[in-house]
């Protein structure tokens, strides 16, 4: 038997790319590839890329440049680019970087085995179609390897919202929901392989409306179906849009014990003028009222958000409105970005904010968000939380896991295993994590 070929995948961007990289590794596993952690060892290198901000896209070209020497030493090495940069500028990549053999967009991963064969035969291959078939269904024949306790599961992909700054509707295409039975089968399979916590993924996950036996299911209905799976202990989902936060989903946060008290609900900005120009179709006020309703259903829920500062035509006053909204909501965690011009999106053509002003605003916003994050984390001290252990800690006998609220928690003298769920009392709050002790 010949030695297996080695595959090195580097993943950038969002969790959906992490999920997709796993699927690509499995698809190429069927072609005799095993994964390696080192690019130097590889027979095939795949970069699974992100196009969301300019810096993310540029990274791909600098990373590719670094493989030049490797390819010179090893002419049989194949280099592929996948993900959202592949979708957005596939042909440009081929032109700009001749060492790329293969370009595959996010909707074509099920065609990877054929593409790999062509690349091996010396062809340059590019596939950035949006085919009709369900790629995940085609990708499902995978080995039943044991898995860690947490997993991602894509339930919805693409977006029809067209926020004025965002490339996702172009790179991931129109919003599509996977049928419920396929998701439930995949979830069952994950649980049989050791998974205890599933995070449902979608660019607009709460717009989920996949086919069920008696018509379409909402995300909340899908969650209730998942709730029935024995051995599945925790359910999360990301990313949600405020306009798709339906009543049954809010209610599920209060009534479904497996649904974790954590919600990532990006608002992007606090000024109605800017929200309108972003094409967000919600106001600061409607968002705040929504958060109130969610907290009424689940008072301890941890709210997470995304923010963009320096969006075209943002004034200091507009920025202050974002700061005011943050003060009011109180975020447990948040991601904030300086607006990055994305060619082809509506906002790219508009008058841009002075970069120094945008930098200054980003710093002020991040200082506030960091303070809030710290306050929320510190407020956990003294409380009892569930912790799902994911790995051994740095010290002997120490285990590390995530709380219900997604805080990292260290427990010393811990006799539990990876994959165990335990009740833990939080005793102290550190820079980026909590320390706790087992109860009983």
Cβ 22 vs Cβ 147: under 8 Å = no
Cβ 352 vs Cβ 312: under 8 Å = yes
Find the residue with minimal CB distance to ligand F3S. 13
Separation between Cα atoms, residue 92 and residue 108, nearest integer Å? 18
84 interface partner picked from ligand F3S, ligand SF4, ligand SAH, none, CB below 5 to 8 A per type: ligand F3S
Residue of 82, 168, 252, 260 that binds ligand SF4 (CB under 6 A)? 168
Find the residue with minimal CB distance to ligand SAH. 306
Query: DSSP label at 220?
Result: H
Distance of CA 309 to the CA centre of its chain: 21
Contact code string over 161-200 relative to ligand SAH, x by CB under 6 A:
----xx-x--------------------------------
Q: Which stretch binds ligand SF4 (CB under 6 A): 66-74, 159-167, 220-228, 366-374?
A: 159-167
385 belongs to the binding site for ligand F3S (CB under 6 A): no
Nearer to ligand SAH, 83 or 149 (CB): 83
Cβ 49 vs Cβ 21: under 8 Å = no
Buried b (16+ CB within 10 A) or exposed e, 240-261: bbbbbbeeebbebbeebebbbb
Residue of 6, 7, 9, 13 that binds ligand F3S (CB under 6 A)? 13
131 Ramachandran zone, left/alpha/beta (phi>0; psi -120 to 50): beta
Buried b (16+ CB within 10 A) or exposed e, 278-313: bebebebeebeebbeebbeebeebbbbbebbbbbbe
Q: Which stretch binds ligand F3S (CB under 6 A): 46-54, 321-329, 374-382, 406-414?
A: 46-54
Query: DSSP label at 439?
Result: -
241 belongs to the binding site for ligand SF4 (CB under 6 A): yes
Q: How far is the CB of 432 from ligand SF4 (least distance, A)?
A: 27
340 interface partner picked from ligand F3S, ligand SF4, ligand SAH, none, CB below 5 to 8 A per type: ligand SAH
Separation between Cα atoms, residue 157 and residue 208, nearest integer Å? 9
347 belongs to the binding site for ligand SF4 (CB under 6 A): no
166 belongs to the binding site for ligand SF4 (CB under 6 A): yes
Separation between Cα atoms, residue 118 and residue 96, nearest integer Å? 21
Contact positions toward ligand F3S, by CB under 6 A? 13-14, 16-17, 50-52, 83-84, 167-168, 171-172, 203
Binding site for ligand SF4 (CB under 6 A): 159, 161-163, 166, 168-169, 203-204, 241
């Amino acid at each position: 038997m010949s030695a297996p070929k080695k595959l090195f995948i580097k993943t950038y961007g969002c969790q959906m790319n992490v999920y997709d990289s796993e699927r690509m590794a499995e698809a190429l596993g069927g072609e005799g590839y095993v994964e390696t952690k080192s690019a130097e060892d590889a027979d095939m290198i795949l970069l699974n890329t992100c196009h969301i901000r300019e810096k993310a896209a540029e990274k791909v070209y600098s990373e590719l440049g670094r493989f030049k020497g490797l390819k010179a030493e090893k002419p049989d090495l194949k280099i592929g680019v996948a993900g959202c940069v592949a979708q957005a500028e596939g042909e440009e990549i081929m032109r700009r970087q001749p060492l790329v053999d293969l370009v595959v967009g996010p909707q074509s991963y099920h065609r990877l085995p054929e593409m790999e064969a062509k690349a091996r035969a010396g062809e340059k291959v590019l596939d950035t179609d949006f085919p009709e078939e369900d790629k995940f269904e085609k990708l499902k024949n995978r080995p039943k390897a044991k898995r860690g306790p947490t997993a991602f599961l894509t339930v919805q992909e693409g977006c029809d919202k067209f926020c004025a700054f965002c490339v996702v509707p172009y790179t991931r295409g129109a919003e599509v929901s996977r049928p419920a039975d396929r998701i439930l089968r995949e979830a069952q399979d994950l649980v049989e392989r050791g998974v205890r916590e599933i995070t449902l993924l979608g660019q607009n996950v709460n717009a989920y409306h996949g086919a069920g036996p008696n018509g379409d299911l909402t995300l909340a209905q899908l969650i209730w179906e998942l709730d029935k799976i024995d051995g599945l202990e925790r359910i999360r989902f990301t990313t949600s849009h405020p306009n798709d936060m339906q009543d049954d989903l809010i209610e599920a946060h209060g009534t479904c014990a497996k649904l974790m008290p954590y919600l990532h609900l990006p608002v992007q900005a606090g000024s109605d003028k800017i929200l309108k120009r972003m094409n967000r179709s919600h106001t600061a006020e409607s968002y705040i009222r929504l958060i109130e309703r969610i907290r009424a259903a689940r008072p301890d829920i941890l709210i997470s958000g995304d923010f963009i500062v320096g969006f075209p035509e943002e004034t200091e006053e507009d920025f202050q409105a974002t700061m005011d909204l943050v003060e009011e909501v109180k975020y447990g965690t948040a991601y904030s970005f300086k607006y990055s011009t994305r060619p082809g999106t509506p906002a790219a053509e508009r008058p841009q904010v002075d970069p120094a002003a945008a930098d200054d605003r980003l710093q002020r916003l991040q200082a506030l968000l960091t303070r809030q994050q710290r306050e929320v984390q510190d407020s956990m001290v003294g409380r009892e939380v569930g912790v799902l252990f994911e790995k051994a800690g740095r010290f002997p006998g120490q285990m590390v896991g995530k709380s219900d609220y997604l805080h990292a928690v260290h427990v010393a003298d811990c006799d539990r295993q990876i994959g165990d769920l335990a009740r833990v009392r939080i005793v102290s709050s550190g820079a980026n994590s909590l320390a706790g002790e087992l109860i009983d």
